[in-house]
């Protein structure tokens, strides 16, 4: 993430990964404030064994795109909402990538979905993890059905 001030949002991704037993690391690597460190992080990520990068930043959020430009790994971008502009600035900074440099952008503040998407990326080549994702989806289905049943009971 671009700053430790993003952590209250970004910890949603960490929680999702932890729920699925996926090991992760979290760090502050700002494209604007520590560009050389950011390039080194992105360039070394695959060789260190990382499989997916989740990059969250607020405002003029160049971090996800810049990471995507220096790594062959999939990068998932999380627009972090700040005090002004409700995260629209961050969203547009992350989602409007030039052709050839994709960043899979989730909704504003949706770090949990970023974590879940990372699990799905990893699950594509991991049957056991995929089975856990399928169980998670069945659980979601059950919860949604229960919501409908409760609503119908109240009518």
**CA–CA distance, 132 with 25 (Å, rounded to integer):** 21
33 marked as binding residue: yes
Give min distance, CB of 73 to ligand C2R, in A.
18
Binding residue (CB under 6 A) for ligand C2R from 16, 75, 80, 91: 80
Give min distance, CB of 149 to ligand C2R, in A.
41
**Residue 97 lies near ligand C2R (rule: CB under 6 A):** no
Our CB check for ligand C2R shows the closer of 6 and 52 to be 6
3 marked as binding residue: yes
Share in percent of the chain as helix, strand, coil (round to 5): 55, 10, 35
Our CB check for ligand C2R shows the closer of 6 and 103 to be 6
**Residue 5 lies near ligand C2R (rule: CB under 6 A):** yes
4 marked as binding residue: no
Binding mask 54-73 for ligand C2R (x = CB under 6 A): ---xxxxxxx----------
Long-range contacts of 28-36 (CB under 8 A, 24+ apart): 28/1, 28/2, 28/3, 28/4, 29/1, 29/2, 29/63, 29/67, 30/2, 30/3, 30/57, 30/63, 31/2, 31/57, 31/62, 31/63, 31/66, 31/67, 32/2, 32/60, 32/62, 33/2
**CA–CA distance, 144 with 155 (Å, rounded to integer):** 17
Binding part of the chain for ligand C2R, among 15-23, 51-59, 106-114, 115-123 by CB under 6 A, reads: 51-59
Sites for ligand C2R among residues 6-35 (CB under 6 A): 6, 30-33
Q: Which residues bind ligand C2R (CB under 6 A)?
A: 1-3, 5-6, 30-33, 57-63, 80, 82
């Amino acid at each position: 993430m671009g700053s430790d001030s993003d952590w209250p949002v970004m910890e949603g991704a960490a929680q999702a990964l932890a729920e699925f037993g996926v090991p992760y690391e979290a760090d502050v690597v700002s494209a604007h404030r520590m560009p050389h460190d950011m390039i080194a992080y992105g360039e070394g990520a695959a060789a260190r064994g990382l499989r997916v990068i989740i990059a969250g930043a607020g405002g003029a959020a160049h971090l996800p795109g810049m990471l995507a430009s220096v790594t062959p790994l999939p990068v998932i971008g999380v627009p972090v909402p700040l005090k002004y502009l409700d995260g629209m600035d961050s969203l547009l900074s992350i989602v409007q990538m030039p052709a050839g440099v994709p960043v899979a952008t989730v909704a504003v503040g949706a770090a949990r979905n970023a974590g879940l998407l990372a699990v799905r990326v990893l699950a594509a080549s991991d049957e056991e993890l995929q089975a856990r994702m399928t169980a998670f989806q069945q659980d979601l289905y059950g919860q949604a059905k229960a919501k409908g049943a409760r609503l119908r009971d109240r009518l």
